[in-house]
Chain A
Amino acid sequence: MTPTRKKRLTVVLLILLGVSVAAAIAMTALQENLLYFLSPSEVAEQQMPTGRQFRLGGLVKEGSVNRATDSLKIRFRVTDGLKEVEIHYDDILPDLFREGQGIIAIGSLDNNRVFQADEVLAKHDEEYMAPEVADALQKAGHPRASKDSTSVAPSEYKP
């Protein structure tokens, strides 16, 4: 092998080595459980201590929203189908907040295991359909069409 060839081969091998090490680390990263939030079940499982800040995610339970008449205070429960957590919040809610909607709350548990939220975020809707179709689906009792959401993320759609 000529020296130039040898050098080229070394370079190629080095690049291959580097890329495969990077890929191996990335594979490990993929296997790590990346959590944006804890679900109510995980909160119950982990015995989350009181007063520590974390993000709680889940669906707002139908019929659980309880608003105060004279202030912004609101109480509701989020569920993941198995467990529920009571949330208290005292600020302006996002427009998309409604029963059955997915939300993420940031805050901590108090001594009564009630989640005191400092911030509540809502999820966008990603559906596009003609009004007639939506009506038809609603008549047929399709759960997706029952949402009366008016806000849709402009650039969120996949054909």
Chain B
Amino acid sequence: MNPVMKFLHKTGSPAYFYWLSGRIIPWLWVVFAVLTTWGLYQAFFVAPSDYQQGESYRIIYIHVPAAWLSMMIYLMMAIFGAIGLIWRIRIAEILAISSAPIGAAFALIALITGAVWGKPTWGTYWVWDARLTSQLVLFFLYLGVMGLHSAIDEPRKAARAAAMLALVGVVNLPIIHYSVEWWNTLHQGTTIKIIGESKMPSSMLFPLLLMAVATKFYFGAALLSRARNRLLDQDRRRGWVAKSIREQRL
């Protein structure tokens, strides 16, 4: 057996996964808390205000990391799904389906903060801007995965079907993204770029990067916690749970 498969199978054993994730989760929360505190401080007290938008631009420190994360989570979900489908590793299936609600939540956060930001800058809560539209479609894709999962009663089958849908979605995601961008250019006329590429000074960028990293740790912690709960729920009558309780490892 090659080392990769060995690793997958070892971490794929429910008892080991449960034990390992329990050890990791607290550390993820600590890093998340530290980075978020630092990032928010930088974002609201250190970064300068914008020359056009004043203070309202600061919402990007929530909006943008949430949008990035929601896209990354979809990719992660598809990767976990593929591992689960190909090698039939149950932990991977559980990780895939546990990613969906977190991704949907971040997509929703990005949409709401986008709308809140749209009010002072565009004068309206919603504009069919390319990125907002892509984000909305991504949110719907998450809803589809979650909807399919909840419609099937048998947990294993539900997880596999959802993983399959996530895989189909990830193939189409770039196509959807570019077509929406295109559609937008067609309707809003954002293409005329005779001058200029956009820029951001480092004092504004640094807190953004901090927040982007912080949200990834949140995802890690939330994902592992959700996966543990799902695993425990599915396996409540299995031997390893009883054994772990006896050995006081739960």
Contacts and interface: CB of A to CB of B under 8 A. Distances in A.
A123 B117 CA distance: 18
Contacts of A127: 52, 196, 198-199
Interface string B78-92: 000000000000000
Contacts of A150: 52
Interface stretch (B28-36, B151-159, B187-195, B214-222): B187-195
Interface stretch (A46-54, A62-70, A83-91, A128-136): A128-136
A151 B196 contact: no
Contacts of A129: 50-51, 199-201
Contacts of B60: 154, 157
Interface string B44-85: 000011111100010110011001000000000000000000
Interface string A18-48: 0000000000000000001100000000000
Interface string A111-155: 000000000011111111111111100000001110001111111
Chain B: interface size category: 35 or more
A109 interface: no
A128 B189 contact: no
Contacts of A153: 121-122, 127, 129, 190
B213 to A, nearest CB: 14
B39 interface: no
Contacts of A159: 200, 205, 208
B3 interface: no
Given A151-B123, A154-B117, A154-B121, A124 B52 contact: no
Interface of B: 48-53, 57, 59-60, 63-64, 67, 114, 117-118, 121-123, 127, 129, 131-132, 135, 185-201, 203-205, 208
Interface of A: 36-37, 57-59, 95, 102-104, 121-135, 143-145, 149-159
